[in-house]
Amino acid sequence: MKKKILLSILICLLCNCLQVYAKDKTLLFCGSNKNGLYLLLVQEGYKLKQFSTPAAAIAAATDGAAVFIVSDTYPAIDPKERITEEVLAAAKQKHLQLYVEYPAAFPGLDTPAKPLETRLERGVVTTGDFGAPLQLMSVLGIHNCYILPVTATDPLIVLAKVVGFDKAEYGLDSTKSYPLLFKQDNVFIATTALSNFERGRYGPAASMKQVWTYILARMTGNPDLTIKHWPMDVKPMYTRNAPLPATARLNAIRKGTAWFFHGRFFVHPAWAKEWEEYNSREMPTGPPISADKPDGDGSLGIMEGHTSTINYDGTQQYRYWMRADVQGEVSMALSAAGRLLNNKSYQQNAVNLINYTLKTSNMRAGPKRDPNSSAYGLIGWATPNPTTFYGDDNSRAILGIIGASAYMNTNQWDQEMAAAILANFRTTGKDGFRGERLEEKDIIKNGWQFYSNRSLVHPSPHFESWMWALYLWLYNKTKYEPLLTKTKNAIKVTMESYPDNWRWGSSMQTQRARMILPLAWLVRVEDTPEHRQWLDKMVTEIMKYQDESGAIREELGVKGKGMFNPLNTNSAYGSDEGSLIFKNGEKVSCQLYTCNFALFSLNEAARATGNKKYKEATDKLSAYLTRIQVQSSKHKDLDGAWFRAFDYGRWDYWASNSDAGWGAWCTLSGWIQSWIITSQIQIEQHQSYWEVTQKSAIGEPAKSLINTMLK
């Protein structure tokens, strides 16, 4: 027994000695000292010798040494990065451990003169060798990957377009794949720049860390190797369990508001023509506005934000579209922040945004400004589509401008806002539903009475419910009974249709989050046991999915009731709008469609009822959003933002990026940023939107318009 114990001790000591030896071995590095891998190895305590060519590194290496040959010119191929027969033979003779990435040439590989650029493709693990965190078919985000399409047997990782959240759900048989990491002649070969992991924001972070742990362990001969640090250019403001300072929410508000300006999203006359070029495209995306260009003041509007496409250098493209809802939402956030932070320039920007929307842009021009037109009062969807009207988008534009007016103590836009609410109301069917969208030419052709009298049932809170909330809000100011009765009917039908007959979009949680607001305001105007029961049911339903961290987990709805094309094949990935998850149970929250609106609505419910359960859910979600706000010293246009997706299991910005346009890493100055900022301000000040706008004088112009618009 003693001999066995002694033997175990000797083995442990030997392993420790080997680990110390492996750790102290000098690594040979062919590449820049600014390379991400170089910086990581230095941070991990390795000694590195640098060389300018692969041949020089191999010539200087001692027997069994580890040599890393990385790309300094990625995505361009460096002609100097050539592994010749002679170089490879010398490496074999010395028994060197080689890692070679993105080579211009390698014996036995037919490397092309130009790489293949990819966007939707992701890395897929094709071996079980990486260990428990990276099982077979695990997915990696190698963003905007430039890859050398070579042939290789038994690759460790391939690049392919696949469906799935964190694994390739349908495998690889039905999709084109390219070897991304493999071993040949005992050499690790990467057909892209895997060392670009920090700059390219490869993810999930824990998975990429595991890939490099595997490579380094085999390169250094240290099977117990661990990586203690992992650099990230974009990361959450706080870890999951770090204590939040008392000022954390206030700091989140400050940083969130400053983000509008750091990103240069306000169009400036100096580059307005450039903006118009991208804004008018079918896909209105373009490069970020450079830091040397001036920022606008809101007089020419504010753009949407970032697309979800991450470039190889970690930057993201902008969405140049000019939308009415975004203008109203941002004006509210700026007005609220302006009052809280005593910043008058914020409020002036808000004034400019509202005047741009209602007066100088085309979004309320032509028939929309003519009192004799059936389209009078409506607000166009966006400057490229000013004759399309989504009720939901109109509702958020109106809520934003009314909220901004209250924060700035002005009634200068009350006439336009009353007309906008009534314009939507008179094109709402007799059952209280309006449908997804209407077109100006049809409204003028048919007359508003056609829509007011038609029978339509459309139980989709995402499209319908916030306009119902506005009808209830205006009823409180005018006591015009049809605003209440028609809305109550629609709410009753919708609640009776829950959940099996609800039409859901990217998530069922979106629908629940949106439904809470009109239910809370229905309690405000008509506090009955039934109305409280409806509200409690919806809050309870969404809270079933609230994690201890405060996150609200995404959930797919009833099969066949989704709005978007199901992802039944790998080829469908990226072809339509869609969810952040593949199946229910995946730990992802959505800040574009769910958590942003839930925070606002839950606060309204808590303030309307005094229910402690609602307040606790609100506070947990508020703290969660404070924690996951983006911090980045490298990307100022992202610092202070919220991305659409957050994987609260990994505590990382990760999800399925299948949505065409609004994927995991998009930002949105309106939908995401503005509702989170405004809600955080109201929670910080122990207020609700209902209370902030309680003194609105919109009732008088609204009563006058009721007499003229609803004859």
pLDDT of residue 561: 86
One-letter amino acid of 316: Q
Residues of the chain with CATH 1.50.10.10: 248-709
pTM: 0.96
Over residues 597-611, the mean pLDDT reads 98
Between CA 393 and CA 465 the distance in angstroms is 11
Per-residue confidence at 3, pLDDT binned at 50, 70, 90? very low
At 158, give phi and psi (nearest 5°): -120, 165
One-letter amino acid of 320: Y
Q: Decide if pLDDT at 221 tops 80.
A: yes
pLDDT of residue 5: 46
Over residues 649-676, the mean pLDDT reads 97
pLDDT of residue 15: 42
Mean pLDDT for the chain overall: 95
Residue-wise pLDDT for 611-629, tens only, equals 999 999 999 999 999 999 9
SS3 string, 596-646, reads: HHHHHHHHHHHHHHCCHHHHHHHHHHHHHHHHHCEECCCCCCCCCCCCCEE
Over residues 550-578, the mean pLDDT reads 93
pLDDT of residue 560: 85
- How many beta carbons lie within 10 A of that of residue 514, not counting itself? 27
- How many beta carbons lie within 10 A of that of residue 73, not counting itself? 14
- How many beta carbons lie within 10 A of that of residue 664, not counting itself? 25
Per-residue confidence at 610, pLDDT binned at 50, 70, 90? very high
Q: Which two tokens stand for residue 93?
A: 């003779």
Over residues 22-36, the mean pLDDT reads 85
**Which of 20-24, 499-503, 601-605, 702-706 has the least mean pLDDT?**
20-24
Residue-wise pLDDT for 420-463, tens only, equals 999 999 999 999 999 999 999 999 999 999 999 999 999 999 99
DSSP per-residue string spanning 99-113? EEES-SBBTTB---S
Q: Decide if pLDDT at 16 tops 70.
A: no
Q: Which two tokens stand for residue 527?
A: 């506090």
Question: What is the DSSP-derived secondary structure letter of residue 288?
Answer: P
Between CA 494 and CA 576 the distance in angstroms is 27
DSSP per-residue string spanning 47-81? -EEEESSHHHHHHHPPTT-EEEE--SSTTSPPTT-
Residue-wise pLDDT for 156-167, tens only, equals 999 999 999 999
HSE (CB half, 13 Å, CA atoms) of 418?
Answer: 26
Residues of the chain with CATH 3.40.50: 27-232
pLDDT of residue 25: 67
Q: Decide if pLDDT at 659 tops 50.
A: yes
Please name the CATH architecture into which domain 248-709 falls. Alpha/alpha barrel (1.50)
Between CA 69 and CA 78 the distance in angstroms is 12
State how far the alpha carbon of 209 is from the alpha carbons of 27, 36, 216, 574, 656, in Å: 19, 12, 10, 26, 19
Return all residues near 311 (Cβ < 8 A) that are at least 6 apart.
143, 144, 317
Q: Which two tokens stand for residue 609?
A: 């009822």
Give me the CATH topology for the region 27-232.
Rossmann fold (3.40.50)
